[in-house]
Amino acid sequence: MLLDKVKTSLRINNAAFDVEVQDLIDAAKDDLRISGVLVVDETDSLIIRAITTYCKANFGWNNPDAEKLRESFESIKNHLSLSTDYAFYAITFSVSDATNPIRMAKVTFNDETKTTDANGQAIFYVRKGTNYEYAVAADGYAPDDDEENLLDVSASQTVAISLAVV
């Protein structure tokens, strides 16, 4: 449990400060999210380190290391906010002919075009958003003519596209 890990790092072995420490944990998570860190998994070691550092910087009144810890938290937060693993969602397009993956299909998503791999997949990394447009085309296959080729992104996901042979 994250509360117990943070309390251990603060050298607290009772429940006297649980409410204050939980408030700091919640504030750290909010700070990370506001800064663009979309994946705040309490079991992830870097997230735990960021939250623990935030709590150590902000717990108590006379902490001589508070400024250094705040700088450390800012550094970790900046690193996380630039990482595709934490600040972007993975959108995987899986293109097939209903049976087999289609290699070398062109997938355009969010104004970027990629070619599918041997598994018929192309992966894009984007931030949360609505109405991302996409298009899929492959030689020898009818184009994906769905009028609503829009995608709302609020989590990593796979988009299955089936193209018909012409």
Q: Looking at residue 99, what DSSP letter applies?
A: S
Place of tokens 């943070």: 6
- The mean predicted confidence, pLDDT, of the chain is 93
| Average of per-residue pLDDT across 14-37 | 96
Give the residue, 147 or 157, on which the prediction is more confident: 157
Residue spans in the chain of domains classed CATH 2.60.40.1120: 89-162
| Average of per-residue pLDDT across 23-34 | 96
pLDDT above 70 (res 75): yes
- What is the pTM assigned to this prediction? 0.70
pLDDT above 70 (res 98): yes
The superfamily (CATH) of domain 89-162 is Carboxypeptidase-like, regulatory domain (2.60.40.1120)
The three-point CA angle 72-24-9 to 5° equals 60
